[in-house]
Each structure stands twice: as structure tokens, then as C-alpha cells.
Structure 1
């Protein structure tokens, strides 16, 4: 294959350097990785062998400019890994992951690099650097130490081995989980057993079955423990079957069992942390976060667990009364909770769906709020092709002109991992002259034929949440790619996305998008009020299942040397939950260890606490927006200037204080989650 045939080897000539998916084929990835790594090594070698004394330009800026081919192929490849994989992609991922780890180590552990950075760092205040450039030099130097630059040769050799193994293991975890989740989908032959599901959900289940060449219906699994259909199915036996299919993922034995991977990932992460001078992996992660320490994380979780559990137990008593003689089981909770919600607030989730049509939610809800706050306009570009026919693209403008591209991949499919996320295909950078291309990916069941896509309110919230991440990428305004968009600590990155959720229930926004998909009638005012009131119901369960997962993450990653083997993974999990006082049989963790993709295949290892940590900032910020008039351009401009545009170019909490005028207060979070009563 000649270089001219490989679309990754040159910058795309499409708008905003959008990858040319019309030309990209699976066979392009491997050669592009090889060329990209070789080119990057040559670029770095030229920097490190430069006989001139190190300067900010010839070292730091040059490093920021390097690796463009590798960056282009990596962003597209790993987007495909998550959103549209196939056996060829999976095989290449397994092969390339340890090679990429070795490549990163070859750069990070070169003593010449650390020598140049250390020299510049020692003279940093005499270099006349602007604040963002000074921060880049400081961050690069800190990263070098965290990446092992101060280890001796034996330590560096072992670190290389550990990084390669961890990369392979996390890749394998994601691959096995996707395969097991697909295999665990519940096949239903008798349509009568689907009683309680909406027509849209039944249509999606029929389409899922047809896509696999099956008769009847297929209930596919979303990533968390709780499956949406559990709130509606009247067939208790089917609810139990669906629940067990969910919680047994990765723990059934066979080729896709993930328990050995969990154990080995925890063991090797612990060893790597000790090698780098940290007590455990969680300490290694916390040191580079806004939390700062494992003790700070543990303190927050310890403060929140008792009131959350108390609320969940009170809810369980109420639900048991509704369940009658049947003992309340975890597969019953959502079903009876929905009954209580209907009785108390007269809101049936199924009755809301006709008012929550996807395109209307997107255009008259998500995009409308972004327009009011930030002056953004969205123009769909049907001429721009993505990696799957379901993916749509919009060009984004503000008052000053073009901003970037926004892509959305809404529908679930077997080639996509579960969950919802944001990623960038092109990151904003003044240095490289690039504007952002960002993606949101969800897993909404796709209805059959021309039927409308009707959402649950939970899916609406998820869309607003993920779009908050997209805004963080789209509105980035930094010089260096290292700081672009969401390149912030893990326990800060969820803050803007959680703030954006507030607009889903803001009156001016809700009245625009919540309209019947057939009649155009707005959601009745009484239902609106009941929906708002009902949202607070069930916070005991929601907070407890989340905290249980966060506790599990910390438990695995505060281990030092005594790591349980595969046979004892579930025993360790049970003990960790019991020790934390959060072992409620009817309230399982949002993710059990064997399908905890965030921490064993994603970037959240020892960082799942981030959602509640960021929610402290979020709740405090929602209070600020409310006090200052809500959906006003002045408010959006203030948030954009202080937080969204700055990415990682400023210290995160300094950005927060610049916006809020003070440190965050926890009281709004406690009030929101009912933890102050």
C-alpha cells in the first residue's frame, strides 16, 4: 500500500480536518500505526539530539507538534473500537495495544527528555513564558516523573513490562465484556411476556432480534446493573432472568469470564504504583487529581454512605409494602418504584415517552439551551460521512463564525460497547490551527422501520449530560493540544457535563422539547410539576448504587500486595461492600467488578468517585445559575470564559474559583440528594 492510498498519513482536506471515512478502511489502521510510531520516534529523536541548548520552542513546543499521524490514526481507531468494532478491529487492538504502550514508554523514559525538561523547569521563571506555556512546561515535567523518568534502569525495564501487560489486559477486558453482554441478551419468544413495555421498546426489541436473525424479541443489555425494562415488565420471572443476565456478566465461566482479568489488573496496577513510589494505585491516581489524596476521597464516601443507605432502607420498607407478600428482590425495585412514582406523583414513565421524541429533544432542547447560553447554532451536514450510517454530523457556529463539528451516534448495536460517552476526533489547538470535531455516543434502542425514537427521561438526561462534555470540547480555546477541551483531571471532567443536565428540566427548555410527537401538544403542566417532584424520589437507591460502585473501585485500587485471585473476586467484592456499610442485597452496585468497564477497560480506575466529587461543584454551580436568572447569555458567557474554554490550561479549582468567586460548598449537593435530612 503506497502512502498516497492511506488517508491517515496526511491531514484530511475535509472541513475541520474531519477524518475521511469514505476512504478509511480497516486495512489502513495497521500500516498507519506503524508509520505514525516511526515518524513520532524520529521527531522525538530530532528534538532530543538537538545540539542546541534546550529552549521552550525547541523542546516543549516541538513535542506538542510531534506525532500528528499517530494522533490521527489513534483517535479514529479507538473511536471504532468503542462504537463500531469487528473481529479485524479487535485483533488489531490486541496486537497494537502493547506496542503503543511500549512506544509511549520509549518516549517518556528517555533520560535525554527528562534532562531537557528538568533544565527548562529549573529556569522556568526566567523564560518569559505566558501562563499557559508555563503550565505546559510544569505539567510536562510532572508527567515525566509520574511516568517513571526518575527510575533506575531496572525500574524502567519493569515499568515497560507492566505498562505493556496492563494495556493488553484492559483491552481484553473490554473485548470479553462486549462479547459476553451480547451473548447475555435475553431472547423472548412469547410476546405476552413483554407486557408493560411501551410500543417503542417492544419495537426496538423486535428489531434487535431481527438484526441477529432471531424470531420474537431480544432484550439487549445496557452497561449498568439496572436494565431499563425492569421498571416496566409485569412478568416477574422475566425480570429476574433479565437481572441475572446483567449481574452475571463476566462471571459465568467460559471464554468471556473477566474475573482473572480483574484480579491481574488490580495486582499489576498495585505493583506499578509501588514502583513509582506510591502506596497503591488509588494514591497514584489521586495525586494528579483535584481530590489530592486517597484520604480525601475516602472521607467524602464515608460521609455520604450512611445517609444514602438510610434513605435506601426507608425506600425499601415502602416498596416492600407495595410488593405485598413477595419478598422485595433487586429485580423488583425498579418495577415497584415505578408504581410508587405513579401513585404518589401520577407520573408513569411510559406516558412520558410520546412527549420525548429524539430529534425534538435534540433540536428544541439540547441545541436550544446551547444557543441561549453560548450563542451556538447547529446546521446538519448530510454531506459529511462518518463511520456508520446512523452517525449524524452538525456544523457549529457562534457569533464569531465557525466553531467546529458535532457528531452524534445515538443507537445501540452489537458492534458498540454499552454506556454513553464523548470523544474527540480532532482537538482544538491554536498551535496546530485546529478547530474541534467532537462526538457523543449513546445506546438508545433503535425502533423498527420509520417509527419515531421515543426516549425515557433518563435517556434525555443522559443526552444533556454527554452534550455537556461536547460543549467542553467545542468551546475549548487553548494554544496547546495538551490542554484542549476535556483534558482535565478525571474528578473535574464530569463537572461541566453534570451542570448541563440542569437544562433538561428548565421551564423554558422543557416546554419547547417535551411535546407529543403526533399532536405537538406540550407535556401537560401538571405532569411537568409531578415530573420535577418525582425526580427527587428514589435518591436513596440511586445514591447507594452509585456509592457502592465507587467503594468497589477504591477497594480494588487501594490493595497493595494481597490481591484476590479469580476464584475470590466476588468474595472480595462482598467483603468490601460490607466493610463500607453499603452491602444492601436489594441495592446492588451500579457496576459489579466483572463488568465495571469504567475502571477495568476505561480511564476511570480509582476515579469512579469523580462523579460525586464533581457533583459538589455541579450542585453549587446550578445554584449560581438559578440565582442569576438561569438561561441567560451573560451566564453562559461567564461559564464559557472561566471553565469551558480553558480546558486544562489553568488549574481546575482556580478555574472554578474564577467562575464562582469562592470554593465550592457541599450543602447544595446534600439538599439535592436528600442527604441532609
Structure 2
């Protein structure tokens, strides 16, 4: 084997991983050595004869596992953004072992005894607020990981964690395979009617990559309602696309429904073992929501007005459809929404694309907004190498010119990439470890044919701003301990900063800077901007119902009490019953994710946590009101928001941080107004 670049700390700027040297053969040996090294470091902590102190226990824990952290950050980014058969095999092999490794630490009685001792004496140790919170959070983590169970309970917990890790890894890999297998291939050019020339060319390129030259391939995104449904004029083609989308993960070849039942049952058993009535109760206990009742109260308040809005929208769409088409179907909704918007607001979504060229949106929109609000600037580093030829690397500078970190952008879809969009931290900031942040945004924008510009939809623009909000959360991190770095906050607040960042996309001075026609350079006309804003409000009922369907589906899977409750369950039947009980069984609006491809929940960290998007939006909508109240300049507000919340990571309670700049607890009314849900 070649020299393993993971075995030494990177000498590249900001400790950027040396991607040009990393080979697949390096991962397994590094994982193995990294786990062994960390267990040795834990042994060094528990082997100390002296009484536990903050330094010899908690700080030592924070310093442990450096090699394992290096390889995990790189590998799990690669496995989701540029997977191969080799990385899939490594992930399937290592995920259960990593789960067992975490258990070996959390269930070490000698280590827990030291943490318990510090927790009991925390008032006597002279700790500063961040140190005290760190002790409390470590204690909470170990207790929630089963440190207080007896020997038999811990043995079963280890088995459950290993099984869950293996099953969720399999679900995620299945999801990529199912999405690729569900690609809709068309052989007749007439079936592409309604698509732009750019979209047609991209579909032809997709087909060529599948060895289907002369055909056209429509690749699916990891959502139920495929964006292409808004443009396809052929109703039967739309039906085929929707069917392919909704049936993913429910086939004989790839049965993620069966896996979802198993994962939910395992999680239910684990929750019971840890003393909780169900996994949802376990999941929210350390979140800002605190109780499942708090989540259910909020969601219940949103469902009736959202459904009422959606039914009004459905009636309008049905009126616009030809009588011979009959009933409005799920595959009709986006197409006729587009036409109603175009007629009522004179907004043609396809005609907007030339105003949203990727490079301009990125530099003159996303980066420009960050400069206006926070004073930062970004400069591309062509001398640095990413993990894929399409990855771009930017150095980030603060308002005073000092260096902050690196931002990597991986914007285009490819068969080897998971669906959706996300942010990862390749290096997490920590003053203790002397590290500055390196963060990456992954998106799934359709790649244009060679030599042509990438023209975005308005939704693509929103995703760029949203994910860069996560990146800012990582880049602005200024904490002592890695436990709290960047986005290491409660799951139901992690979307808060990213959703706030979306507001800048439509702010007049920002929009005017980037929304310029690709051919003429002319800015988007002001009256078109106004019509676009009005058009966006149309369809809020659909978007809210679609989201709530997914959130309550996730919630239903994880409110199951006891694994035996799912014995012999069928995923599709369970799903149908859950949506009906929630009042969201609208055939024309499938949930944003069905069970078979709900990767957030069954292959990611959002189990009983998908509610967090709208929970975070309560904070987001209230914060946007604060930004725009005119009491201070946007730059002054940005500085205050960064200081109070973005830089603090998990070192403070997010609701306390919110109150520190807002002056009170969050209010639900701004969210209801934004989504058109006020009476």
C-alpha cells in the first residue's frame, strides 16, 4: 500500500485533506488504527489514579480520536457525494464497527464514573460557562447512550446500535441505486414537449451516459414531486415520472419499505431499553422542543389551515385544466400551477432561468449577500485540489482581512452522489486544537452540456443560499472545544441559520446584483420581481402540506411504542394510515418524501426530527422580522447575529442565544403570516 496520508496531520492550508493523495485503500487501515488509538487514549484517561478533573478527563476526551475524526470527515463526505462500489463496501463494513466503537466509549464504566464525578461536583470546580456546559453535555450524552444500564441492558444496546447502523447504511445505499434505476428514459422527442432546449440537451447527455445514445433520460431527484413535472406537456409522461418517483424503494429488487419497518422497530426497542415510551420521546428529550407534546401541538396547529389553503389551490388548478383531463392528479399539480402562475402573475418559470446563471448567483448573490451582512469575502483557490474535479475551493476572509477558513462547493448532480443538498465539515473549528474550519456544500443542480452555462430555477437559487447559511454557521464558529463547533447544535435548531440566510436571495439590493440576463446583462425588471414574489405566495398551501406530510410520517414511524407493534407491518399500509390519521391523506399532494426514499430519517440524522425544519422556521421568521425592523443597519444586525448565535455553536442554549439578540422568546405569528396560515 502507498504511504497513508491520513496518518499525519495535513500540511495544506487550514489542514485541507490531501485529496490528491487519498486512495480507497487508505480508508479501512485508517479507521482501524483510528479506533485503536482512541481506545488507547480512553484507557489513558481511565487509568489515571488521580481524581477526575476537567483537564484530565473532559479536555483529554476532546483531544482524543484525532485520526478517526480526520478519516471519518473525509470518508462520509465522499460516500455521499462521490460513492463507488468500493466506498459502498467500506461503508457497509465499517458503519457497524464504528457504532460498536462509540458504544465501547459511552459504555465504559470507568470513564462514565469520572464524568459522573465531575457532573456532581460541577458547582465546585470553578468552571467558566462553556466548560460547565461541556461537562453537562458529556454527562447527558453518556446517560442517553446507555451508560446507566446494567450489564445485560448494555449488551442488548450494543447489538441494537450495530444492527441499526448496518440497516441505515443499507437504506442509504439502496436509495441511490433506486433513484438511478427509476430514471425515466424516453425514445420519442415529442414526449419532451415543454422542456427547454437546455433541459432536452441535458436529458440526451444523461441517456448517453447510460449507453442509450439517441434517447433522453430524465434523472430523478430525491423528492416526490420532480421539478420536471412543471414543464412536461405530455400528461402520460408526467404520470410515468410521478409513478417512478413514488414507487422507489417499494420494489421487489429494492425494498426500502421492509428496511424502514425494521429500523423503526429497532429504534423503538432501543428507546424502551433506555426508559422512553418511544423513539420520538427519546429523540426530542435533548432538543429545544423537549417533549413530543410540544412538537405535536405545533404541527396540529399548522395542519388545518395548510390543508384548507391547499384545497383552495386545487380548486383553482382544476378550473384551469381541460375538462377531458378529469380529476386533478399528483402529476398534474406542478404543471398546472406553473400555468396558473404564468397567467395570473405573468411569470414564466422557464423565462426566469436566464436571469439565474450559477456563477453570477454564487458570486454576485450568495457571496455578495454574505459580504453585505457580515463583511466577509471569498477568493477562489485554483491551487488547491478537491475530492472531485467539479469541486471548487474558496478561501474565506473576515471583514478585517484575516483568514477564516475554506469553503468547498460541489454543485452538480451525478449518479454517484446522494440526492438533495447538504453541508459537511471536513475540518471543525476549535481553539483547543488550533483548527480553523473547512466546510463543503453539496447540491444536485443539473449539469448543462459542455460549454453551456448552468441556468438555475428559483428553487435552485434558494438552495444555494440555504446551504451557504449552514456553511456560514461552520465558518463563523469560534469555540474552544470541538464538541460545540459549528453546526453541533440541537437538531431542531440546526436549520435556523440556513433558513435565515434564504431571506437575502429576494432582498432588492441583493437580487438586483445577481439577477441579470445571461445574454443582455440587463437586471430583472422591478415589476417582474414583484410578480415573482406574488407568484411564489401562490402554492404555499401545497408546499406546507407536502412538508407536513413528510414531517408527520416521520413522526408516526417513531411514535410507535415497542418493537412488537411493528411486527408484520407493511410500510405502504402504515404510511397510508399515518397520513390519514394526520388529516393529510391528499392523493394529489404526496408527502415530500415517502418512506421508501426518506433518507433524512432512515439513513440520516433526522429520525423523529424532520419537524425541525418548521420548528427552526419559527425562529427564522421571527429573526427575519428583527433584521428588517429598521432599528439598526443590516450590517450591524449581522454582526450581532453572528456574535450571539452563529459563532457560539452548541456552547450556549440556542433559545437563550435567540433571546439575547431578540430580547424575548420566539413568537409563532411571523411564521403563520409568512405561510399564509393566519385566520
TM norm. shorter chain > 0.5:
yes
Aligned to 1:607: 609
Question: Which of 251, 256, 259 is the matching residue for 2:257?
Answer: 259
Which of structure 1's runs of 4+ aligned residues deviate more than 4 A? none
The one-character-per-residue Cα deviations of 1:219-264 (angstroms, maximum 9, x if unpaired) are 101111010100011011110100000000001212x211111010
Shift of 1:23: 0.2
Aligned to 1:172: 170
**Under a length normalisation based on structure 1, what TM-score does the superposition of the two structures give?**
0.98
Secondary structure of the residue aligned to 1:8 is helix
Alignment of 1:574-593 (within 5 A): 574-593=576-595
Aligned to 1:526: 527
Aligned to 2:132: 134
The one-character-per-residue Cα deviations of 1:332-380 (angstroms, maximum 9, x if unpaired) are 0000000110011110100000000000000000000100111111000
State how far apart, in whole Å, the 1-side matches of 2:352 and 2:124 are: 62
Aligned to 2:148: 150
Shift of 1:568: 1.5
Range with greater deviation from structure 2 (519-528 or 471-480) = 519-528
**Contact 1:429 1:484 (8 Å CA) reproduced:** yes
**Contact 2:549 2:579 (8 Å CA) reproduced:** yes
State how far apart, in whole Å, the 2-side matches of 1:21 and 1:631 are: 42
State how far apart, in whole Å, the 2-side matches of 1:163 and 1:271 are: 11
State how far apart, in whole Å, the 2-side matches of 1:199 and 1:660 are: 48
Shift of 1:631: 6.8
Shift of 1:632: 2.2
Range with greater deviation from structure 2 (470-479 or 522-531) = 522-531
Aligned to 1:30: 28
Shift of 1:567: 6.0
**Contact 1:564 1:572 (8 Å CA) reproduced:** no
Instruction: Assess, with a 3 A threshold, how the Cα gap between structure 1 residues 342 and 444 changes in structure 2: closer, same or farther.
Output: same
Shift of 1:563: 3.8
State how far apart, in whole Å, the 2-side matches of 1:631 and 1:609 are: 32
Alignment of 1:211-610 (within 5 A): 211-215=209-213, 216-254=215-253, 256-325=254-323, 326=325, 327-400=327-400, 401-561=402-562, 562-564=564-566, 568-610=570-612
Shift of 1:175: 0.5
Aligned to 2:189: 191
**Contact 1:577 1:583 (8 Å CA) reproduced:** yes
Root mean square deviation of aligned Cα: 1.0
Aligned to 1:57: 55
Secondary structure of the residue aligned to 1:71 is helix
Give the number of equivalent residue pairs: 674
Shift of 1:212: 2.1
Shift of 1:203: 2.2
State how far apart, in whole Å, the 2-side matches of 1:566 and 1:351 are: 50
**Contact 1:260 1:565 (8 Å CA) reproduced:** no
Secondary structure of the residue aligned to 1:439 is strand
Shift of 1:324: 2.9
**Contact 2:261 2:569 (8 Å CA) reproduced:** no
**Under a length normalisation based on structure 2, what TM-score does the superposition of the two structures give?**
0.98
Aligned to 1:73: 71
State how far apart, in whole Å, the 2-side matches of 1:565 and 1:88 are: 34
State how far apart, in whole Å, the 2-side matches of 1:399 and 1:444 are: 30
State how far apart, in whole Å, the 2-side matches of 1:24 and 1:207 are: 30
State how far apart, in whole Å, the 2-side matches of 1:75 and 1:320 are: 49
Secondary structure of the residue aligned to 2:450 is coil
Secondary structure of the residue aligned to 1:424 is strand
State how far apart, in whole Å, the 2-side matches of 1:90 and 1:626 are: 47
Shift of 1:189: 1.7
State how far apart, in whole Å, the 2-side matches of 1:563 and 1:323 are: 44
The one-character-per-residue Cα deviations of 1:31-63 (angstroms, maximum 9, x if unpaired) are 000110010110111011111111100000000
Instruction: Assess, with a 3 A threshold, how the Cα gap between structure 1 residues 631 and 550 changes in structure 2: closer, same or farther.
Output: farther
**Contact 1:207 1:446 (8 Å CA) reproduced:** no
Aligned to 1:91: 89
Question: Which of 638, 650, 662 is the matching residue for 1:636?
Answer: 638
Shift of 1:659: 1.6
State how far apart, in whole Å, the 2-side matches of 1:228 and 1:155 are: 47
State how far apart, in whole Å, the 2-side matches of 1:272 and 1:406 are: 38
Secondary structure of the residue aligned to 2:379 is strand
**Contact 1:94 1:172 (8 Å CA) reproduced:** yes
1:200 aligns with 2:202: no
Shift of 1:565: 5.2
Range with greater deviation from structure 2 (559-568 or 211-220) = 559-568
Range with greater deviation from structure 2 (387-396 or 203-212) = 203-212
Aligned to 1:668: 670
State how far apart, in whole Å, the 2-side matches of 1:56 and 1:375 are: 37
State how far apart, in whole Å, the 2-side matches of 1:73 and 1:630 are: 44
State how far apart, in whole Å, the 2-side matches of 1:33 and 1:533 are: 52
Shift of 1:174: 0.3
The one-character-per-residue Cα deviations of 1:167-214 (angstroms, maximum 9, x if unpaired) are 000000000110010010001122221111122222222222222222
**Contact 2:427 2:435 (8 Å CA) reproduced:** yes
Shift of 1:122: 1.1
Instruction: Assess, with a 3 A threshold, how the Cα gap between structure 1 residues 302 and 94 changes in structure 2: closer, same or farther.
Output: same
State how far apart, in whole Å, the 2-side matches of 1:191 and 1:78 are: 40
Shift of 1:566: 6.6
State how far apart, in whole Å, the 1-side matches of 2:333 and 2:311 are: 12
1:44 aligns with 2:45: no
**Contact 1:260 1:566 (8 Å CA) reproduced:** no
State how far apart, in whole Å, the 1-side matches of 2:486 and 2:125 are: 26
